[in-house]
Amino acid sequence: GAGVSQSPSNKVTEKGKDVELRCDPISGHTALYWYRQSLGQGLEFLIYFQGNSAPDKSGLPSDRFSAERTGGSVSTLTIQRTQQEDSAVYLCASAAQLNYGYTFGSGTRLTVV
Partner 1 sequence: AQSVTQLDSQVPVFEEAPVELRCNYSSSVSVYLFWYVQYPNQGLQLLLKYLSGSTLVKGINGFEAEFNKSQTSFHLRKPSVHISDTAEYFCAVSEGTGANNLFFGTGTRLTVIP
Beta-sheet pairing, 88-95 with 31-37: antiparallel
7 binds partner 1, rule: CB under 8 A: no
Q: Which is nearer to partner 1, 18 or 45 (CB)?
A: 45
In the complex, least distance from residue 70 CB atom to partner 1, rounded to whole angstroms = 20
106 makes contact with partner 1 (CB under 8 A)? yes
Neighbouring-strand partners of residue 35? 45, 91
What number of CA atoms fall less than 13 Å from residue 7's CA on the CB side? Answer: 5
* 113: three-class secondary structure by DSSP: coil
By three-state DSSP, how is residue 85 classified? Answer: helix
Please give the residues from 31 up to 60 whose contact with partner 1 meets the rule CB under 8 A.
Answer: 31, 33, 35, 40-43, 45, 48, 50, 55-56
The site for partner 1 (CB under 8 A) is made up of: 4, 31, 33, 35, 40-43, 45, 48, 50, 55-56, 91, 93, 98-99, 101-107
